[in-house]
Amino acid sequence: MRKVPFVTVFWTFALAIPFTILALGGVAYIDLHFSEIAAAITSFNAATSATGRGWLTELSERSPELMGMVVGLAVMLTIYLFLQQPAKAGNPSKK
C-alpha cells in the first residue's frame, strides 16, 4: 500500500514536467513570432475565402442561416425530449 503514493507522484511528475517545458517553449515561440503568425493567418484567410474578404466576414454574413439551423435543431430536440417522457411512462413493460 505504501508503493501507491510513490508511483502516483512519479507518474504525475513524469507527465507534468515535459508538458510544462513544452508549454513554456510554445509560449516563448508565440511571443517572439506573433506578428509573423498573424500575417500568415491574415493572408491565408484572404487567399482561401470566396471573395477575398476573409473568413470572419464570410461567416458573419451567413450567421442568420446558422442561427436558424441552431434554433430549429433546439426546437426539434425539445419536442423529442417531451415526446419521449410520456412514451416511457405509458409502457411499464420496458425497463
Query: Do 69 and 52 sit in the same domain of this protein?
Result: no
Convert the pLDDT of each residue in 60-83 to its tens digit.
888 899 899 999 999 999 998 888
- Whether pLDDT at 7 is above 90: no
Per-residue confidence band for 42, with pLDDT thresholds at 50, 70 and 90: confident
How far apart are the C-alpha atoms of 86 and 67, rounded to whole Å? 30
Note the pTM of the prediction, 2 decimals. 0.43
The answer to whether 50 and 58 are in contact (CB under 8 A) is: yes
Per-residue confidence band for 29, with pLDDT thresholds at 50, 70 and 90: very high
How far apart are the C-alpha atoms of 73 and 83, rounded to whole Å? 15
Query: Do 32 and 76 sit in the same domain of this protein?
Result: no
Query: Do 10 and 54 sit in the same domain of this protein?
Result: yes
Grid cell of 95 as nine digits: 425497463
Query: Do 24 and 35 sit in the same domain of this protein?
Result: yes
Query: Do 56 and 32 sit in the same domain of this protein?
Result: yes
Q: How many domains does the chain have?
A: 2
Query: Do 55 and 67 sit in the same domain of this protein?
Result: no
Query: Do 8 and 51 sit in the same domain of this protein?
Result: yes
Domain housing 36: 1-61
The answer to whether 63 and 55 are in contact (CB under 8 A) is: no
pLDDT at 61: 83
Of 5-14, 17-26, 85-94, which range is least confident? 85-94
